[in-house]
Structure 1
Amino acid sequence: MTAKQTVQQKDILNIQSVTNPVLSPDATEAVFIVTQIDEKENTYHAHLYHLQVDSGKSTQWTYGKERVSQPQWSPDGSQVAFLSTRDEKNQLYLMQAAGGEARKLTDYETGVTSFLWSPCGKKIWLTSTLEDGKTFTDKKEKEEDKQPEALRVTTMKYKMDGVGFIKEDHHSQIGTLDLDTEEITAFTNEPFHHSLNAISHCGKKLVMGVNRAENKDFDFRQPLHLVDLDTKEETTLVDEEGYFGGATFSEDDRYIAYTGSVRTFENATHSELYIYDTENQTTLNLTEGLDAPIGDAVVADTQQGPNPPDAVWTEGNYLYFQVTTMGDVRLYFADLEGSLYPASQESEHVYDYDVAKNGQFALAAISNPVNPGELYRLDIATGERKALTSFNETYVNDTILVQPETIQFGGAGGFDVHGWLMKPATYKEGSKYPLVVNIHGGPHAMYGNSFFHEMQLLAAQGWGVLYINPRGSHGYSQEFVDAVRGDYGGGDYQDIMDALDNVLENHAWIDKEKLGVAGGSYGGFMTSWIVGHTDRFKAAITQRSISNWISFFGVSDVGYYLCDWQIKADMTNVDKLWKHSPLKYAENVKTPLLILHSEDDLRCPIEQAEQLYITLKSMHKETEFVRFPESDHNLSRTGKPNLRITRLNELTSWFEKYL
């Protein structure tokens, strides 16, 4: 019998991500996507798989150097359409369910962003980003004929992390593609971004999102409109400050479900599930009594490209959707009379799903702290489940994985604080071990009962790992998630320190003289803040962080409004911005600090790291700075595989040196 191996940095090359389960119309078949890393190509490949639901037999349908996404069955179940990058840009492909080669349907300059089948099965609605005045089929200029061009900027939302600079004269448009002729007909052409949400089962109505405001610098609306396809007459479903989307029609077309959040607490506001009644033209907030957000707020590092529906209707006008709650993401059931309850179990992360139209079972992609994720059939009535895939079974069986222990304690201000503690993978009773505190980003995200390779890696090095959800985290009450706003470094810092004191008091195996702390984004801010306010940690690693809210205001893609939303201050109150900036407290830092940052990060630009590094160096502090080229804010999750491994090596090497 082969001995189990400890978790290694390169394990991300072996872990496969199982996502995008989509049931056929009769629910006897399904398709899904498996993403894995090609080490030689230093990239990700995502392929389409077919599943026989009853037998659990799966077959790979696509191969090659591509990333497949958004698979959808035709209304009669005879074909599957999907997007693929096999020719660089995402283009639309069509495959017969009976087998055969995929047929390429589009070759647009900017590719296809999203699509929906028309109920007739003879055409497909799609969106693509077009230059104003151009059509879907206009050919792009040859690369060798291009000259560098200046970019004129007149708006404040002119760049986006992971995207780059945004051209003001390019907008997302909707068109219809005839499958027989492959001719595309434009449905929209106004100089605004249009999103494709849903098409009624009768084929006569469409829900689209469009914000027609001329100046959107301080406009954060995504109105939804119900469009009559014959007359193009629009009925507004919702038009208020906040984001709304994910619309879907009930089976009888009377109701439209959609999700969204208003701006009561800015980006800390819980998402809700709304129902619009097309007959009475009334709207119901179906989850008003649920003090938890709709959707998935879990942060993890192995699930690639999940694309769960916002909600799924079943016969009888019942609904299923995800809810983030107490460290779990669970599938929930609701009806229009107000019934609301979980339809999946506790202590796991349902990160993707579909539900059979008769409501008898769900097909769900599920992870837990010791399993990266597989597809399961969940019987709705009995709660029974059956594993349908085993892509990560060998890895799980051959690897020492640590099951975290749940912790909970009463924090400051009357809040309960929830989190997890992992013992070292090499733990032996009576020995002492270092402890690393790992802090998530967001801050409006959540650590959860999900597989997290980085946590397992730290435990494999012989360290304990503490990770909690301090105030500001999603998954708890609205009051809890809002409590961090205007108080960065206050109650949230106290929650982390109280959690540390709690585990030190109750777990004698932790060596209190060998404590480390790390985090990224908001977690990077908090790491930098912590070392400026206490010297109890022997090593710290700050990643993709904010160090100076004053400069962040002008350089981040979201800075000019996020400062107001999160710190409750703008450039008219630089004293408050500076008060909450870790850079202000650099002189107090005694902990050796490693700074990791991506060069193409537009969310927390690298100048934030540069300021912190040079300031600390000028004060003769113990610090080093590692820059990651060709990487954005999501390096640790979706970055180039070799650089993800380098980052993990940097983490473990720094702690090994000082702990």
Structure 2
Amino acid sequence: MEKLALEDFTKYKFISNTKFSPDGKNLAFVVSEMDVDENKYLSNIWLYNVDNKTINKLTTFNQESSYLWLDNENIIFSTVREEKDKKRKEKGEPFTIYYIINIKGGEAQKYFELPFFASDIEPISKDKFVVTGIYDPKYKNLESLSKEEKEKELDKLKEEKDYEVLDEIPFWSNGRGFTNKKRNRLYIYTLKDKKITPITDELTNVEGFKLNKGKDLMLFISNTFKDKMEIRSDLYLYDLKKESFEKLTHEDPFNYVYADFLKEKIIFLGSNMKEYGINENPKFYLMDLQTKEVKQIQTDFDYSTWSSVGSDCRYGSNSEFKVEDDYLYFETTEYGNSFINRIDEKGKREKLTTQSGSVDGFDVFKDRIIFVGMRDVKLQELYELAGNEERQLTTFNEWIMKEKTLSKPERITFLGKGEIEIEGWVMKPVNFEENKKYPAILDIHGGPKTVYGGDVFFHEMQYWANEGYVVMFCNPRGSDGRGDEFADIRGKYGTIDYEDIMDFVDKVLEKFSFIDENRIGVTGGSYGGYMTNWVIGHTDRFKAAVSQRSIANWISKFGTTDIGYYFVEDQQAATPWSDYEKLWFHSPMKYADNVKTPTLFIHSEEDYRCWLAEGLQMFTSLKYNGVESKLVMFRGENHELSRSGKPKHRVRRLKEITAWFDNYLK
């Protein structure tokens, strides 16, 4: 077997967007891979036939990832294929073109076009659709113009690209750029007459919608704001026949996570955020459609309803909820794993998957469940759940297990401060020798309300293990999977979480004598980047550090990032006016004059979540105080560089990090 190479991740296959056909006989899903030469991702729709258990590739143009089943044999998907349409796109014209393809064969044909960037779409009938799309007031009259008038207007708008006018917060969003006055708007589109009818107004942002089985009623979750977006949302019922609204919001403020029709009722989940803030785990509720009476079900539930298990080997979007027959199916994160669950209208919850690892999305048809999973330190594959047994359906990434050397993480637990159990893992170097001393890398996860798992494939960790490093990682207080109280570190950043991480390192060194305690590095991204900055300002035990997409100064973060003004107030329990000193106390930059650790900073120019200014401030502070440091900035990238950045940029990032550690730890 060969060592896992740095570039091997450019050959991985990533699975996403699983959807059963209406009759359940076929499952469509998307497979994505990297094209390093073109520096982009290629995505195609595949089909799994449930009866004969065959898997076939449906599309081949390498740009099909957003789709829906129109009926049992036809799929529509959005793409830009023709040269004239590519030129329109280059000129900046907003539109979405849908093609239709029959799963039994034949070429895809143009089906219809929408004059905006569409996101979600569902058929009411073959002639009518519900769709959400980006409403931008700059383009609001574009569809009514002739071709010549449209080109003139686009030329005018091209000149406006040199300016940004901001009059609300947030004014930008990571991965989306400047978003001022842009909203995800809800529309009805009629194919026959190409009529587009907006359902929501110009200030309302729609977060999701669901149709009932009869397709005459629609639920949607939205947030209407002007000047400042608050963390709250509303629930609406829309009668498609009467074309009328009814506001169902039962408590204000409330953050609705998901809502759908369950039999003759509405099941929804969310939180009023009163006890644990914006990251509070959601609760389940049932609403009577007639009386609008609301009652909470599953009162003892205390998990997040999504998978927060970290990995750098995913691409594409996946469903985390599905109402089927008498149940709502959903995911939970519990310790370092995620599972599929279901709940009925009485609040009875069942955990359907029990194997450790990660569930990265699923779909359900009657009693059949197919999901994307990471199992036994393997990359993503499709699995079917039959009773309590899981059956692997695909082998896209099996070559890794057969051809490459990997390290299996070893789980360790210990009682930290306050007799609280802390969970972590240690990966031995590949080709480990008992009497040899090894350098080590401590990897700190982002979030902070996410988790690491021991059965999930993490490329950078596996690569470092193949390069002769011990890799260690843990889930300190603040992490997901253990309930609200464990995750709640509001106003405590850099205190109890720092203690847990340092105690974890102590326990690892105590248990594994083959680690050279004089050659340990530390790294992490986002919250992990914040903690890396914090760690080097509070201890000299690490001989090198790599801080990625980090936070240095909570005061500057408050006023610059897409989530800053509400995230900082919630998580640090202060604003620059209510308690300036508290924000400065929790800011790593305050302690930068204590730093002795050589540190590399990795940042993306378009990271609006942990803006470039955060890395620049910490880098400048270290340089000013004479500490060996370097900053590598990636143009055209955002907060997701390590997970979905351009292939060449992801290669360069990992090369920079590894070279830094090699220089100081080997």
What TM-score does the superposition give when structure 1 sets the normalisation length?
Answer: 0.93
Is the 8 Å Cα contact of residues 9 and 645 (structure 1) preserved in structure 2? Answer: yes
In structure 2, the partner of 1:291 is: 302
Q: What is the RMSD of the two structures over their aligned residues, measured on CA atoms?
A: 2.1
- Determine if the alignment matches structure 1 residue 151 to structure 2 residue 160: no
Distance 1:300 1:78 in 2: 35
| Residue correspondence of structure 1 range 200-599 to structure 2 within 5 A | 200-217=212-229, 219-231=230-242, 232-250=244-262, 252=263, 254-264=264-274, 265-310=276-321, 312-315=322-325, 317-357=326-366, 359=367, 361-368=368-375, 370-379=377-386, 382-448=387-453, 449-482=455-488, 484-572=489-577, 573-599=579-605
Q: CA deviation at 1:156?
A: 2.1
In structure 1, the partner of 2:610 is: 604
Q: CA deviation at 1:457?
A: 1.2
Change (3 A) 1:84 1:408: farther
| The one of 76, 80, 91 aligned to 1:81 | 76
Q: CA deviation at 1:136?
A: 8.3
In structure 2, the partner of 1:50 is: 47
Change (3 A) 1:266 1:408: same
User: Percent identity of the aligned residues?
Assistant: 34
Is the 8 Å Cα contact of residues 42 and 63 (structure 2) preserved in structure 1? Answer: yes
Is the 8 Å Cα contact of residues 91 and 112 (structure 1) preserved in structure 2? Answer: no
Secondary structure of the 2:204 match is coil
Secondary structure of the 1:571 match is coil
1:400-421: per-residue Cα shift (whole Å, max 9, x none)?
Answer: 1211111211111232111211
In structure 2, the partner of 1:30 is: 27
Distance 1:100 1:332 in 2: 39
| The one of 190, 212, 217 aligned to 1:178 | 190
Distance 1:51 1:247 in 2: 29
Secondary structure of the 1:267 match is helix
Would you identify which runs of 4 or more consecutive aligned residues in structure 1 move more than 6 Å?
none
Secondary structure of the 1:94 match is strand
Q: CA deviation at 1:235?
A: 3.9
Q: CA deviation at 1:318?
A: 2.2
- Determine if the alignment matches structure 1 residue 72 to structure 2 residue 82: no
Is the 8 Å Cα contact of residues 441 and 521 (structure 1) preserved in structure 2? Answer: yes
Secondary structure of the 1:371 match is coil
Secondary structure of the 1:68 match is coil
Distance 2:565 2:547 in 1: 23
Distance 2:203 2:627 in 1: 52
Distance 2:377 2:659 in 1: 24
Between 181-190 and 295-304, report the one with greater CA deviation: 181-190
Secondary structure of the 1:105 match is strand
Distance 2:142 2:239 in 1: 23
1:361-419: per-residue Cα shift (whole Å, max 9, x none)?
Answer: 2001101352111001111xx31222211111122211112111112111112321112
Is the 8 Å Cα contact of residues 283 and 299 (structure 2) preserved in structure 1? Answer: yes
Distance 1:391 1:452 in 2: 17
Q: CA deviation at 1:183?
A: 4.0
1:223-278: per-residue Cα shift (whole Å, max 9, x none)?
Answer: 1111122330314144533432432223x4x1223333332222321133333331
Distance 2:297 2:106 in 1: 44
Letter of the aligned partner of 1:187 in structure 2? I
Q: CA deviation at 1:65?
A: 4.1
Unaligned runs of 5+ in 2: 90-94
In structure 2, the partner of 1:633 is: 639
Between 178-187 and 323-332, report the one with greater CA deviation: 178-187
Change (3 A) 1:90 1:299: farther
Distance 1:54 1:5 in 2: 38
Letter of the aligned partner of 2:41 in structure 1? Y
Letter of the aligned partner of 1:633 in structure 2? H
Change (3 A) 1:284 1:7: farther
1:606-630: per-residue Cα shift (whole Å, max 9, x none)?
Answer: 1111111122112111111111111
Distance 2:558 2:208 in 1: 32
Letter of the aligned partner of 1:202 in structure 2? G
Is the 8 Å Cα contact of residues 115 and 196 (structure 1) preserved in structure 2? Answer: no
Between 460-469 and 263-272, report the one with greater CA deviation: 263-272
Letter of the aligned partner of 2:166 in structure 1? V
Letter of the aligned partner of 2:188 in structure 1? T
Letter of the aligned partner of 1:236 in structure 2? L
Change (3 A) 1:257 1:46: farther
Between 546-555 and 267-276, report the one with greater CA deviation: 267-276
Change (3 A) 1:392 1:621: same
Distance 1:106 1:121 in 2: 12
Between 514-523 and 409-418, report the one with greater CA deviation: 409-418
Is the 8 Å Cα contact of residues 56 and 389 (structure 1) preserved in structure 2? Answer: no
Secondary structure of the 1:615 match is helix
Secondary structure of the 1:107 match is strand
1:474-532: per-residue Cα shift (whole Å, max 9, x none)?
Answer: 111210101x2101110000000111111111112212121111011110110111111
Is the 8 Å Cα contact of residues 338 and 359 (structure 2) preserved in structure 1? Answer: yes
Q: CA deviation at 1:196?
A: 4.4
Distance 1:273 1:424 in 2: 44
Distance 2:608 2:415 in 1: 37
Secondary structure of the 1:372 match is coil
Is the 8 Å Cα contact of residues 545 and 604 (structure 1) preserved in structure 2? Answer: yes
Change (3 A) 1:137 1:286: farther
Between 470-479 and 225-234, report the one with greater CA deviation: 225-234
Q: CA deviation at 1:151?
A: 2.7
Between 147-156 and 287-296, report the one with greater CA deviation: 147-156
In structure 1, the partner of 2:180 is: 167
Q: CA deviation at 1:109?
A: 4.2
Q: Which has the higher helix share?
A: 2
Letter of the aligned partner of 1:114 in structure 2? D
Is the 8 Å Cα contact of residues 130 and 136 (structure 1) preserved in structure 2? Answer: no
Distance 1:150 1:256 in 2: 45
Change (3 A) 1:314 1:50: same
Distance 1:437 1:266 in 2: 29
Letter of the aligned partner of 1:612 in structure 2? M
Distance 2:60 2:302 in 1: 44
Is the 8 Å Cα contact of residues 438 and 518 (structure 1) preserved in structure 2? Answer: yes
Q: CA deviation at 1:141?
A: 4.6
Distance 1:313 1:136 in 2: 38
Secondary structure of the 1:246 match is strand
Equivalent residues, number:
642
Distance 1:138 1:444 in 2: 46
Between 281-290 and 51-60, report the one with greater CA deviation: 281-290
